[in-house]
Amino acid sequence: MTRAYTGLLLMAALILTGCLGQDPQWHGKDIRGLMPDLAFRLNAPSGAPVTPEASAGKVRLLYFGYTSCPDVCPSTLAGLRQAIRRLPEAERDAVEVLFVSVDPRRDTPERLSSYAGFYGEQVTGLTGPIPALRTLTRRYRTTFGYDQPDAEGNYNVSHGSAVYVFDGTGRARLLLRPGLSPQQISEDLARLIRESRAL
């Protein structure tokens, strides 16, 4: 009788941890099955249209921001740069950071391209017309908005602070919340790269 109970309890615990518990090895939040696959059609600074196919096979990190961003974007992108630098040299090219500017009015191709380049050769600056950006942010359940411009025409842009990570096949895998260290991000990336290479 007691044995049967213990067995039942054990089974319930297993099921519960299996369904609700997060994989302890990921530092980011596992979003497999929660969010849709990577899909977009935006423009590179050269003006050429870009879709996820261009970076297929790589681990993609999608991040929304703008180049005039005073704090969040620089610190997030610097953190990603450090995380990528911690990877073995041969693995760095298996990562691509897609920095999507949600401020296409101010972020000219030159500006976006030099800004992205500053954070490493793995960073690609992308942008597009507002409706295309709205479609993409809605797909990943995030948003952006503009403040009233001041006398000099400067304005703040509100945007999400998360980085969405997709594997080589474009499946949504992780959500990196602010607060993760470059080391933690690097460990997650290394694991995803190994996983994609094993396929």
Partner 1 sequence: MPELGVLAPYDASPLTILVFVLAAASYGYALPRLPRNQRPGALRVLAFGLGLLLCYGVMQTRFDYYAQYMFFVHRGQHLILHHLGPFLIALSNPLPVFRFWRARLAPDGHPLLRPVGTLYRALQQPVVAALLFVGLIYLWLWPPIHFDAMLSRPLYWTMNWSMLLDGLLFWWLMLDARSPAGGRTLGYGKRILILALVALPQMLLGAWIVFSRGQVYDVYEVCGRAWPMAPETDQLLGGLLTWIPPAMMSVLGILLLLRRALHEDGQALASQPVTGGRSP
Query: Which residues are annotated binding-site positions?
Result: 69, 73, 159
* 178 touches partner 1 by CB under 8 A: yes
Binding mask 97-116 for partner 1 (x = CB under 8 A): --------------------
Q: Rounded distance, CA 126 to CA 128, Å?
A: 7
123-142 residues near partner 1, rule: CB under 8 A? 138, 141-142
* 119 touches partner 1 by CB under 8 A: no
Judged by beta carbon, residue 117 or residue 149, the one nearer partner 1 is: 149
C-alpha angle 64-91-44 in degrees, rounded to nearest 5 = 35
Q: Site for partner 1 (CB under 8 A): which residue of 45, 104, 116, 159?
A: 159
Burial of 19 (0-12, 13-18, 19+ CB in 10 A): exposed
* Burial readout 113-148 (b: 16 or more C-beta within 10 A, e: otherwise): bebbeebbebbbbbbbeeebbeebbeebebebeeee
- Can you give the binding site for partner 1, defined by CB under 8 A? 20, 29, 31, 33-36, 64, 138, 141-145, 147, 156, 158-162, 175, 177-178
